[in-house]
Amino acid sequence: MPMAKVIKQYLDKHGVKYDVIEHAHTSSSMRTAEAAGIPGDQLAKSVVLKDAKGCLMAVLPATHRLDVECLNAWLHRKLELISEDLLLSLFTDCEPGAIPPVGSAYGVSTAIDEALDRQSDIYFEAGDHRELIHVNGAQFATIEAHAKHGCFSHHV
């Protein structure tokens, strides 16, 4: 499966310069970082949650674990992981577990962990388990300009 159509259109529309990096099929973000030969701190992963206010995409480094309680306290929400069915209906051009961490491309509010703000380069799933998109940190900040930034994950 090639790069998700929605992501490609979004990046191209916003003039984002990116590289596509192929890697062996993997089943976890840390294995993806290893297969692609990149630092796990620079691989952004997404976790999609929902509450009565709607969906939210939390974006954090592959080396971190989401602290949902911390996220909820920070945003004054009661977020929980969304169901697999809802996830597949929101990201129809993506494989499960390979959702690109660009919520705005899909109309989903986004929160980015501050640990990613310190990275000069960001890599993320292209919508499948075989390709990563590489952008510099400034470009990533541009494509998610409306995202909230906070500390809601812990290094594992």
pLDDT tens column, 89-147 = 999 999 988 999 999 999 999 999 999 999 999 999 999 999 999 999 999 999 999 99
Write down the pLDDT at residue 122. Answer: 98
CA 155 remoteness from chain centre: 16
Q: What is the DSSP code string of 17-48?
A: --EEEE----SSHHHHHHHHT--GGGEEEEEE
Name which of 152, 147, 149 is nearest 109 in CA terms.
147
Is residue 147 classed as helix, strand or coil in its secondary structure? coil
Which CATH number does the domain housing residue 125 bear? 3.90.960.10
Name which of 121, 115, 109, 113 is nearest 146 in CA terms.
109
What's the total number of domains in the chain?
1
Write down the pLDDT at residue 113. Answer: 98
Which residues are CB-neighbours of 19 under 8 A, at least 6 positions away? 133, 134
Domain boundaries, position 22: 5-155
Write down the pLDDT at residue 1. Answer: 61
Please report the sign of the dihedral spanned by the C-alpha atoms of residue 32, residue 94, residue 116, residue 150. negative
